A and B are shown apart, each in its own frame.
Chain A
Amino acid sequence: NAGVMQNPRHLVRRRGQEARLRCSPMKGHSHVYWYRQLPEEGLKFMVYLQKENIIDESGMPKERFSAEFPKEGPSILRIQQVVRGDSAAYFCASSPSQGALIGYGYTFGSGTRLTVV
Chain B
Amino acid sequence: KNEVEQSPQNLTAQEGEFITINCSYSVGISALHWLQQHPGGGIVSLFMLSSGKKKHGRLIATINIQEKHSSLHITASHPRDSAVYICAAANYGGSQGNLIFGKGTKLSVKP
Contact = CB atoms under 8 A, between A and B. Distances in A.
Contacts of B88: 43
A39 B102 CA distance: 14
Interface string A88-113: 01010101001011011111101101
A54 to B, nearest CB: 11
Interface in A39-56: 41-45, 48, 55-56
Contacts of B48: 100, 103-106
B96 A101 contact: yes
- Residues of A contacting B: mostly: strand
Chain A: interface size category: 20 to 34
Contacts of B42: 108, 110-111
A61 interface: no
A48 B97 contact: yes
A22 interface: no
B99 interface: yes
A91 B95 contact: no
A48 B91 CA distance: 14
A42 B97 contact: no
Contact of A98 (B31, B35, B96, B98): B96
A59 interface: yes
Given A56-B95, A95-B97, A42 B86 contact: yes
B85 to A, nearest CB: 12
B103 interface: yes
A56 B41 contact: no
Interface of A: 31, 33, 35, 41-45, 48, 55-56, 58-59, 89, 91, 93, 95, 98, 100-101, 103-108, 110-111, 113
7 contacts: A42-B86, A43-B88, A56-B94, A56-B97, A101-B31, A108-B45, A110-B40
